[in-house]
Amino acid sequence: MSLIIDAKNIGINFSASKSRSSFKSFLKNFLKKKNKKRFWALRNVTFQVSRGEILGVIGANGSGKSTLLKVVGGIFRPDEGEIKINGTPSALLSLGTGFKPEISGYENVFLNGVMLGFSEKEIRANISEIIEFSELGDFINQPVKNYSSGMKARLGFSIAAHLTKEIMLIDEVLGVGDKEFKLKSQNKMRELIEDKTRTVIIVSHNLESIREYATKVLWIHKSKFMMLDETNKVLDAYLNE
């Protein structure tokens, strides 16, 4: 299998600006930098992922799992080390939080799709399936401010599940909504994950989901690399710590 992600000695320091922000924001953060306490969210993390593999990432709260996902997604730039990615990631991060409340669900599909890096043509090609899967019916034309939290979650999941690229990033989103929709979304997620043309990174505290889906697991503890190996070996070591 060809290598699609190659990360070497990744380090992220939150005393510096990590996002692809404007020069004004960068300058503001730079001027404040001297007064900030240095905090390493990741340090010396090395891993590789081949095309078609499913990497699970585990660790306690605050260990740096979601930060690592944002490095792969291009949201954060490493302060140390380097990462090479042979493909385009799409993320299931902060599901539905990018919705604009004053515009309709239909319009928010296009807004979120553009934010995920898709063209208008690509979004139009998938919008019927997105709406049908969300089960929102006529509510798709209502302002999102009228949606319940469950409706927002349905639409957010539907967008993320149908607008995907060759590298899929999943952050604690393996099923949303009520019982019936949760089962439906879990089945859709399983379909996406088991597509051998797609490379997947899953961050989750649900070790049974990791055991079910992941072909190998990366364990991070207090921002540092602990172990990378076959799924059961890493999970057994983690549980026996």
pLDDT attached to residue 177: 63
Whether 116 and 36 share a structural domain: no
Query: What pTM value is reported for the model?
Result: 0.77
Whether 155 and 73 share a structural domain: no
Q: The domain containing residue 35 runs over which residues?
A: 3-88+201-239
Whether 9 and 74 share a structural domain: yes
Tally the domains of the chain. Answer: 2
Whether 124 and 176 share a structural domain: yes
Whether 175 and 217 share a structural domain: no
pLDDT attached to residue 20: 47
Q: Which two tokens stand for residue 197?
A: 């043309």
Whether 157 and 121 share a structural domain: yes
pLDDT attached to residue 32: 58
Summarised one tens digit per residue, pLDDT across range 66-99 is: 899 989 988 899 999 999 999 888 755 455 557 8
DSSP 151-202: HHHHHHHHHHHHS--SEEEEES-S--SSHHHHHHHHHHHHHHHT-TTSEEEE
CATH of the domain at 111: 3.40.50.300
